[in-house]
Amino acid sequence: MRTTIKLTAAVAAAAALTLGLSACSAPSDTSSSGSGKKGKDADPKATLVVAASPTPHADILNYVRDNLAEKAGLKLEVKEFNDYVLPNTATQNGEVDANFFQHKPYLDDFNKKNKTDIVPVVNVEIEPLGLYSKKIDKDADITSGHTVAVPNDATNEGRALKLLADNGVIKLKDGVGAEAKLSDIEDKKGIQFTELEAAQIPSRLADVDAAVINGNFAIGAKLNPAKDALALEKAEGNPYANFLAVKRGNEADPRIEKLSKLLNSDDVKKFIEKKFSNGAVLPAFGKAQS
């Protein structure tokens, strides 16, 4: 049975407050699956609940649930979230068993700032970051007086600034890479920057001259990275693979082990390559770096 749950912006906001309050107390020992046990002692027959961004993460998980999970003896439920905070908070509190939406630099920064203890398990895919505009045809045409929107979270903002620098839109200070902040821009070339929550940027694209948009949100906004992006991040050697993640100690959960194998299967590779044939999402399998 299809059990995907979507949170609207209003519900997500309310949930954020609730989860924020619960984060101040001790994490629950009982997951949303009701197994009552964690890690290798978790009930392998209990439903595994995974939080995910809608596209492509939930798309991939839904494919696994509908086509591969039953044969593997896995009961899978997918909860969709439209931001980058709630999936980690819910995983930390035990309200979901795992999440799939983020890369390592973002998780490291999140754990440090929120004192959470979430760890990556297995890499699945990469979504190249892109520069988009409804007003400008070439990145070289972004000049003094133009406004560019970038994600406001530390890791994605640095990644966005590096993309802009790699394509000559701005110049960063020597030695600064994907960890860049706005203060690390040596020459803005007269460009003004607007920092927005990553999920909000696609809907605000018409309000700025250009914007750097995360791959999953670009796809969700019906943007085609291969055709619409003025500049696109290279996938080869990209350290931003998105992975399945759990609260530390749950890596050996037999359900997590099953899901990890399914997410790195040939079937999922073919699904990603077919569904995202425009290159917006690329398979990036393998054990994730702890």
**pLDDT of 180 above 60:** yes
Residue 27 above 90 pLDDT? no
Lowest mean pLDDT segment, chosen from 135-149, 226-240, 275-289: 226-240
Give 17's pLDDT tier (boundaries 50, 70, 90): very low
- Do the beta carbons of residue 192 and residue 148 sit within 8 Å? yes
**Mapping DSSP to helix (H, G, I), strand (E, B) and coil, where does residue 166 land?**
helix
Give pLDDT, residue 26.
31
Question: Taking 60 as the threshold, does the pLDDT of residue 270 lie above it?
Answer: yes
Q: Map 86-147 to HEC letters.
A: HHHHHHHHCCCCEEEEECHHHHHHHHHHHCCCEEEEEEEEECCCEEECCCCCCHHHCCCCCE
Pairing relation of β-strands 98-102 and 48-52?
parallel
Query: Residue 49 pLDDT > 70, yes or no?
Result: yes
Residue 38 — pLDDT band, cuts 50, 70, 90?
A: confident
- CA distance readout (Å), 65 to 47, 157, 205, 245, 263: 11, 33, 34, 17, 11
Question: pLDDT confidence of 34, banded at 50, 70, 90?
Answer: very low
According to the model, what pLDDT value does residue 289 have? 84
46 HSE (CA, 13 A, CB side): 22
Give the neighbor-by-neighbor strand order of the sheet with 98-102: 5-6, 76-80, 48-52, 98-102, 242-247, 118-126, 282-287
Q: What's the average model confidence in pLDDT over 10-37? A: 38
| Segment 193-211 mean pLDDT | 97
Residue 188 CB neighbour total at 10 angstroms:
15
Which stretch of 27-36, 77-86, 125-134, 156-165 has the lowest confidence by average pLDDT?
27-36
CA distances from 8 to 89, 182, 200, 233 (A): 17, 31, 13, 30
- Please check whether residue 53 is in contact with residue 81, taking contact to mean a CB–CB distance below 8 angstroms: yes
CB neighbours of 256 closer than 8 A, spacing ≥ 6?
Answer: 48, 97, 98, 121, 244, 246, 250
- Across the chain, mean pLDDT equals 87
Average pLDDT over residues 111-123: 97
The region, left, alpha or beta by phi > 0 then psi within -120 to 50, assigned to residue 51 is beta
Backbone CA torsion sign across 57, 235, 84, 277: negative
**Mean pLDDT within 201-210:** 98
Q: Which two tokens stand for residue 78?
A: 């997918």
pTM beyond 0.85, yes or no: no
pLDDT category, 238, cuts 50, 70, 90?
Answer: confident
